[in-house]
């Protein structure tokens, strides 16, 4: 696949709006602010969850959520996806009858932005997945990916208050999705991969958000062996990554990064001293 097959469109109608306020000096300012809206997901005739989202790619978000909740199986046949923007509803239809009444009774609110929710046993299938131990990660790829993604126009750079997730292969960013919650962004990628038949083999996840237990669980369930983040870690996220032999890299900014799990996959092929520091312009935008 070529670089950036799917990219954010920060100018797309409805994703952000300009609001007026005052700054620390009392001067009038206009600031682009991301828009969030509820999206209720139905699987066949059953209501599953209402998510807060920016509203783009509702079909991929719905599919990815159901896949990562183990409500949709890899071999299921999706017979239709109906989306109504006015009602804020997306309905996924399958030829297999589904009933998750018991699973929906067990709900866990995650640490994800916009209050992510998982149902049933959050460790379902986790311990059975074996991530490819032969996949390698060159440190030069980390720096290259960070630079390319950081320079790509996005709502993350334009407005802040949003997270991005990028599916990558070697030093090539492929699929870049954004949302108010990183769990939504990763679900969009999961749905896109399933719909387009993209294999997780030797893929890398890059995210702007924290490396929490939820992010680790979803990455492992998608069988992606490496995840890189601009942000930090949670202790449970690290513990789960070590259990699964997931390579977990955080605080990846400029020439710096920290690996807390799966360091045996790293190939140190570049001197960090030769890597330029991150642009202060992008540091300011990313911090908003």
Taking alpha carbons only, the member of 247, 263, 238 closest to residue 204 is: 247
**Can you list the domains of the chain with their CATH numbers?**
137-287 (3.40.140.10)
What are 221-268's pLDDT values in tens digits?
Answer: 999 999 999 999 999 999 999 999 999 999 999 999 999 999 999 999
Helices (H), 175-279: 182-196, 213-221, 235-244
Q: Using CB atoms within 10 A of its CB, is residue 233 exposed (0-12), middle (13-18) or buried (19+)?
A: buried
In the structure encoding, which two tokens stand for residue 236, read together?
Answer: 């449970």
Residue 46 near residue 66, CB atoms below 8 Å: no
What are 101-124's pLDDT values in tens digits?
Answer: 777 766 554 545 444 555 556 566
pLDDT of residue 1: 82
pLDDT of residue 281: 55
54 contacts: CB under 8 Å, gap ≥ 6 = 15, 34, 35, 36, 37, 155, 162, 178, 179, 180
Half-sphere exposure for 159 (CA within 13 Å, toward CB): 25
Q: How far apart are CA 220 and CA 214, in angstroms?
A: 10
Average pLDDT, the chain: 90
Angle between helices 280-287 and 139-151 in degrees, nearest 10? 70
| pTM attached to this predicted model | 0.90
Q: What is the mean pLDDT of residues 138-142?
A: 98
Q: What is the DSSP letter of 233?
A: B
- Which of 112-121, 166-175, 179-188, 275-284 is least confident? 112-121
């Amino acid at each position: 696949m070529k670089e950036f097959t799917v990219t954010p469109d920060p100018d797309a109608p409805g994703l952000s709006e300009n609001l007026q306020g005052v700054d620390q000096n009392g001067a009038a300012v206009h600031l682009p602010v991301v828009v969030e809206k509820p999206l209720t997901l139905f699987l066949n005739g059953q209501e599953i969850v209402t998510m807060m989202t920016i509203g783009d790619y509702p079909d991929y978000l719905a599919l990815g959520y159901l896949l990562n909740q183990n409500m949709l199986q890899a071999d299921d046949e999706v017979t239709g996806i109906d989306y109504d923007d006015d009602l804020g509803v997306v309905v996924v239809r399958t030829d297999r009858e589904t009933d998750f009444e018991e699973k929906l009774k067990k709900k866990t609110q995650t640490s994800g932005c916009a209050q992510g929710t998982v149902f049933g046993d959050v460790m379902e299938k986790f311990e059975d997945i074996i991530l490819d131990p032969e996949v390698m990660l060159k440190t030069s790829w980390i720096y290259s990916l960070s630079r390319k993604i950081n320079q790509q126009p996005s709502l993350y750079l334009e407005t802040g208050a949003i997270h991005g997730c990028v599916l990558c292969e070697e030093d090539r960013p492929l699929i870049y999705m954004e949302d108010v919650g990183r769990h939504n962004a990763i679900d969009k990628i999961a749905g896109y991969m399933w719909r387009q038949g993209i294999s997780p083999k030797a893929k890398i996840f890059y995210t702007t958000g924290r490396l929490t237990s939820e992010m680790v669980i979803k990455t492992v369930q998608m069988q992606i062996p490496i995840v890189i983040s601009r942000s930090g870690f949670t202790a449970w996220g690290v513990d789960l990554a070590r259990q699964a032999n997931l390579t977990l890299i955080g605080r990846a900014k400029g020439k710096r990064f920290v690996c807390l799990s799966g360091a045996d996959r790293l190939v140190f092929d570049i001197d960090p001293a030769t890597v330029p520091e991150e642009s202060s312009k992008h540091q300011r935008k990313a911090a908003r």
